[in-house]
Amino acid sequence: MVINSSYYFYQMTNIRPCTIADVDIIQQLATAIWWPTYSPILTVAQINYMLNSIYSKDTISSQIESNIQTYILLIVGDVPTGFAAYSPRTENPDVYKLHKLYCLTTTKGMGYGKLLLDTVEDAVRKEGKSVLELNVNRHNTAIGFYQKMGFEVVYSEDIDIGNGYWMNDYVMRKNCSSI
């Protein structure tokens, strides 16, 4: 997919809830975004493993159908450009977790990540909640974006994701009670 960044600047944006019909789009976006994002910090084998498990049709479909995670899709003009997924934390429903927030790397700095994040924060506030957490790889440059958006690192954790792979993450948190 070749993206002309100037094309995006002048297009209308639409963020809408995902349905089962969007699973292929989410998979395509994840594949297009994950390789340039994670290849500097993860092995090819781990990226393949994570894409095949986190972004399998069955996994995404199950999350959408059962409302385990709410997925939203960003469309710029008529081009799917990014997505996010969030839910209340299982162990503490007063805290929401941002599971996924990805935009095509060619659109970096154009404000689309902020648009998705603002949409998630609005949804959290509409549920009467104020705390939003996320996990981010400790070597991911997105940490700076999240800090700029008001998130703070609260702790680090290492998560065994199977097959000998680990997620070495920071947990970041934001109070989104004020607009």
Contact between 115 and 76 (Cβ < 8 Å): no
Residue 177: which pLDDT band, with cuts at 50, 70 and 90?
Answer: confident
E strands along 64-115, which residues?
A: 70-76, 79-88, 95-103
Range(s) of the domain holding residue 92: 5-128
Task: Report how many domains make up the chain.
Answer: 1
Whether 3 has a pLDDT exceeding 50, the answer reads no
Kindly state whether residue 164 falls inside one of the protein's structural domains: no
Kindly state whether residue 76 falls inside one of the protein's structural domains: yes
Kindly state whether residue 140 falls inside one of the protein's structural domains: no
Kindly state whether residue 179 falls inside one of the protein's structural domains: no
CATH code of the domain in which 120 resides: 3.40.630.30
Kindly state whether residue 159 falls inside one of the protein's structural domains: no
Q: Which residue has the tokens 């506030």?
A: 125
Report the DSSP beta bridge partners of residue 16.
73
Contact between 109 and 9 (Cβ < 8 Å): no
pLDDT tens across 8-47, in order?
455 699 999 999 999 999 999 999 999 999 999 999 999 9
Whether 7 has a pLDDT exceeding 90, the answer reads no
**Token output for 130:** 């104020």
pLDDT tens across 84-101, in order?
999 999 999 999 999 999
Report the predicted TM-score, pTM, of the whole model to 2 decimal places.
Answer: 0.91
Kindly state whether residue 160 falls inside one of the protein's structural domains: no
Kindly state whether residue 134 falls inside one of the protein's structural domains: no
Kindly state whether residue 168 falls inside one of the protein's structural domains: no
